[in-house]
Amino acid sequence: MQAHQQHLATLRAAALRAADPAEAVRGNLKPADVAEVERVFIVGAGKAGAAMAQAAIEMVGDKLVGGVMAVPHLPFPSRRPPEGGRWARGESEPLNYFQGGHPLPTEGSLAAGRAIAELLSQTTPRDLVLALISGGGSALMELPKPGLTLSDLQITNHQLLKCGATIHEFNSVRKALSQIKGGGLLKLAAPAQVLGLILSDVVGNDLSIIASGPTVETANNTSPLEIIERYQLTAALPRTVLQILREPSVPIRSSISQSVFNNRLIASNRHAGEAAAQAARELGFTVELMGDDWQGEAREVGARFAQKLLAVHRPSSPVALIAGGESTVTVRGAGKGGRNQEAALAAAQVLAGHPQIVVSTFGTDGVDGPTDAAGATVTGETAARARALGLELQTFLENNDAYNFFAALGDLVITGPTGTNVNDLLFGLAY
């Protein structure tokens, strides 16, 4: 059974290669994309932005005239940027990087938005704007509508984060307050052509949700003001925000009627899962891909996945189950952990006493909750090993304390930050 650790490491490595931002750009940006244009501008935002940008620079060549990227961490830490998080363009670096905020926008986020608008004001129909979009871009890059301040946006975002609004509702309001979200980048880039290369951190890969869809022309099906009223936020929001939400929306299409734009999904949870599945086949497993839309309470997701693995276990034939998605945790205890660790803890309950069975959970960004772990690995022996140490699994589960449970057993999955994010993966191995 000890071989399972090496097998899991192989699957994780394969998944991360498929979700590597730089490789995804290299594999999806074609010479034909830039062959007929005179100039190329690179703009964008997201947690994977720096790696995506460096690959794009390599691919574009001499047609690149400049660009702006909003990222959570500046890619050149040895050089201290001036006030505002701007890394000035130099001879060896054709892009300006801005350190934006996440999950709430900061002045750096607004500075990035202003810089993008200024850069794109010089485009012509013979130019290409290459937009590099990944998760986190909603907060990292912002250009508020006139009259709105950073404080207005921060208050609104904070209220939406804590009220229980869905991601669709959250984005509907954010788009209504922004000049860059919901296809706004297309308007800023006009009359140039726009090619969006998008790395998905959203279950279902709805491009209008990833970073609030700056290159995706979308119409709000629900009035943003209705959303504010539904969650009783009217009294909590600044007056200027409410005034803008009351204004009728103007379709982006009216401003970009002559523009050519296209979006490509270049990496997602499905890509990562399929790569892991191929690696499992090469290791001799019969593989079943379980989809990339596993959502819900983490402990329920973990238990359901473990039950499915037990159902397909045949000792005569090694089987691998691979699933993806993103679960949630309702925190009731005072412990430490994350959704992937909690899913693994619940799986351990189901697997207890069943030999030759392994479940491992993995956040592809290398971060699971406020911890240094990406997930955890459990077997049919996990519960018994814990009891031998005086640890009661159910007690840790009730206290949302999966991290300390797995730390005591040495079963945490620790990868460090991976530089990408395509949600979470669940690996099940039955020997």
Assess contact for 394 and 335: CB atoms under 8 A: no
Choose one of 267, 290, 321: the last residue of a domain. 267
* 57, 61, 96, 158 from 126: Cα distances, Å: 19, 17, 23, 41
Its domain, for residue 350, covers: 3-14+270-430
Choose one of 267, 294, 315: the last residue of a domain. 267
List phi, psi (to 5°) of 191.
Answer: -95, 15
Instruction: Give yes or no: residues 374 and 259 share one domain.
Output: no
Assess contact for 45 and 73: CB atoms under 8 A: no
Instruction: Give yes or no: residues 209 and 296 share one domain.
Output: no
> What tens-digit pLDDT sequence spans the chain (431 residues)?
578 999 999 999 999 999 999 999 999 999 999 999 999 999 999 989 999 999 999 999 999 999 999 998 888 654 444 455 554 444 456 899 999 998 889 999 999 999 999 999 999 999 999 999 998 899 999 999 999 999 999 999 889 888 878 888 888 999 999 999 999 999 999 999 999 999 999 999 999 999 999 999 876 667 899 999 999 999 999 999 999 999 887 776 656 655 688 999 999 999 999 999 999 999 999 999 999 999 999 999 999 999 999 999 988 899 999 999 999 888 899 999 999 999 999 999 999 999 899 999 999 999 898 999 999 999 999 999 999 999 999 999 999 999 999 999 999 999 998 989 999 999 999 99
Gyration radius of the chain's alpha carbons: 23
**How far is residue 205's CA from residue 270's CA, in Å, rounded to a whole number?**
9
Name the β-bridge partners of 314. Answer: 317
Assess contact for 71 and 100: CB atoms under 8 A: yes
Assess contact for 386 and 354: CB atoms under 8 A: no
CATH number at residue 93: 3.40.50.10180
List phi, psi (to 5°) of 276.
Answer: -65, -40
Judging by DSSP bridges, how do beta strands 357-363 and 424-430 pair with one another? antiparallel
**How far is residue 73's CA from residue 71's CA, in Å, rounded to a whole number?**
6
Structure tokens at 318: 């090694």
Choose one of 244, 267, 290: the last residue of a domain. 267
Question: Which pLDDT score is estimated for 78?
Answer: 43
List phi, psi (to 5°) of 388.
Answer: -65, -25
Instruction: Give yes or no: residues 304 and 203 share one domain.
Output: no
Our CA angle for 14, 25, 129, nearest 5°, is 160
Instruction: Give yes or no: residues 294 and 419 share one domain.
Output: yes
Q: How many domains does the chain have?
A: 2
**How far is residue 18's CA from residue 11's CA, in Å, rounded to a whole number?**
11
Instruction: Give yes or no: residues 259 and 289 share one domain.
Output: no
Instruction: Give yes or no: residues 60 and 48 share one domain.
Output: yes
Give the E-state strand segments of 208-356 in sequence order.
Answer: 261-267, 286-289, 319-325
Instruction: Tell me the pTM.
Output: 0.86
Instruction: Give yes or no: residues 396 and 278 share one domain.
Output: yes
Question: Which pLDDT score is estimated for 406?
Answer: 99
Instruction: Give yes or no: residues 213 and 329 share one domain.
Output: no
Q: Per 3-state DSSP, what percentage of the chain is helix, strand, and coil (rounded to 5)?
A: 40, 20, 40
Instruction: Give yes or no: residues 208 and 311 share one domain.
Output: no
Q: Decide: helix, strand or coil at residue 310.
A: helix
CATH number at residue 416: 3.40.1480.10
Instruction: Give yes or no: residues 116 and 89 share one domain.
Output: yes
